[in-house]
Amino acid sequence: MTEPQAATAPAEEHGHGPPVRIYLLVFGALCFCTAVSFVVNTTFPLHSPSALGIILGVAVIKAVLVGMFFMHLKYEWSKLYFLIVPVAILGVMMMIVLMPDIVVAWQGDRPSENEEPPIVAK
């Protein structure tokens, strides 16, 4: 590789990641999180908002664990955040921008829970 690193490569932690013990701990945490979300899904009632919150929160925790430890972001965040943060903002923004037209605009059409369904056809 023809990188101008020569003898004095800039201080790189890449390759000097965390010890194996940390990897195994994170793996255990990920398995635990997966089990938690699966159990919450089976025990809570269908479409419960708290189940939704727990499951999505657990998903975010898992993603952060994988990113920080397996992808070494914990050690390289200062060098990479400028790529990741704008993209994450854009990703979320895209959803927010579409919400008024696709979600909010149709909310008035929802019948309330107790209404009799209209007779659409026999």
Partner 1 sequence: MAHAVLEEPKTVHMGLPLPNGKVAMWLFLVTEIMFFTGMIGTYIILRNGTPSWLYPWPTPHDVYLAEWMGAVNTFVLICSSLTVVLAHHALHKHNVKRATQLMALTLALGCVFLVIKGFEYQAKFSHGILPGRIFERLDGPDGPRFSNHVRDQLKEIVDEPEKHGADGNAVNAWKGFLGEVAALKTKSDAAKKEIEKELDAPKKAAEAEIDKLKDSKASAADKQSARDKVEEKLRQQYVAVEKKVESSEAKFAADIEAKRKDLKKANPSIAAVADSWAVQQKLPNLTPKKLNLEIVGTKKSNPHIKPCDRVPGYEVEEGLLEAHPDLHVSHAISFGNMWASCYFAMTGFHAIHVLGGLVVFVIILVIAARGRLGVQHERMLELTGLYWHFVDVVWIFLFPLLYLV
Contact 51/41 with Cβ under 8 angstroms? Answer: yes
CB of 95 to partner 1, least distance (A): 4
* Pattern 8-47, partner 1, x by CB under 8 A: xxxxx-xxxx--x--xx--x--xx--x--xx--xx---x-
CB of 55 to partner 1, least distance (A): 5
Helix axis angle, 20-43 to 49-65, nearest 10°: 170
Does 99 engage in binding with partner 1 (CB under 8 A)? Answer: yes
Contact 44/27 with Cβ under 8 angstroms? Answer: no
The type of residue at 32 is F
Distances (CA, A) of 19 to 30, 48, 118: 17, 40, 63
Q: Which residues, 6 or more positions from 40, have their beta carbon under 8 angstroms from its beta carbon?
A: 51, 54, 55, 58
* Pattern 59-98, partner 1, x by CB under 8 A: x--xx--xx--xx----x--xx--xx--xx-xxx-xx--x
What is the distance of C-alpha 8 from the center of its chain? 37
CB of 64 to partner 1, least distance (A): 9
Which residues bind to partner 1, rule: CB under 8 A?
1, 3-12, 14-17, 20, 23-24, 27, 30-31, 34, 37-38, 41-42, 46, 51-52, 55-56, 58-59, 62-63, 66-67, 70-71, 76, 79-80, 83-84, 87-88, 90-92, 94-95, 98-99, 102-103, 106, 109-113, 117-122
